């Protein structure tokens, strides 16, 4: 039996948080608003009227094609091993990022 890493966030949890992010995103809201909460295939409009409930969803036209690639990126850049992390006070953290920006490295924020 494979030993589980207690410091590794499972893919299911990452996907759950990404879904929450997507559902509250401005991009999703803008698309729903732009299309007036109306299905672009059949023209049915979202309704919350009792007995006539209709839901619409915002769909990625290009699909999310590779969840594993997304998980790998998140693990490589964000959910890194604890040995690649350190605890700093807010002041020192801000100074560190301020120095990074001055050096032309804007990818560290």
How far is residue 52's CA from residue 21's CA, in Å, rounded to a whole number? 28
Q: Is the pTM of this model over 0.75?
A: no
42 and 88 co-located in one domain: no
| Residue 63 located in a structural domain | yes
- For residue 40, the 8-state DSSP code is T
Instruction: Please determine, for residue 3, whether its predicted confidence score (pLDDT) is greater than 90.
Output: no
35 and 23 co-located in one domain: yes
pLDDT band at 47 (very low <50, low <70, confident <90, very high): very high
Q: Summarize the confidence of residues 57-71 as an average pLDDT.
A: 89
Domain holding 70, by residue range, is 11-78
pLDDT band at 78 (very low <50, low <70, confident <90, very high): very high
74 and 85 co-located in one domain: no
Cα dihedral sign, 23-27-28-33: positive
Q: Summarize the confidence of residues 38-51 as an average pLDDT.
A: 95
> How many residues in total does the chain contain?
109
């Amino acid at each position: 039996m494979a030993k589980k890493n207690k410091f590794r966030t499972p893919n299911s949890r990452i996907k759950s948080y990404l879904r929450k992010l997507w559902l509250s995103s401005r991009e999703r809201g803008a698309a729903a608003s732009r299309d007036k909460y109306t299905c672009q295939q059949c023209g049915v409009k979202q309704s919350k009227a009792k007995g006539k409930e209709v839901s619409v969803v915002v769909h990625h036209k290009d699909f999310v094609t590779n969840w594993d690639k997304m998980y790998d990126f998140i693990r490589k850049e964000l959910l890194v091993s604890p040995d690649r992390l350190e605890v700093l006070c807010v002041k020192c953290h801000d100074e560190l990022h301020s120095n990074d920006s001055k050096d032309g490295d804007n990818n560290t924020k």
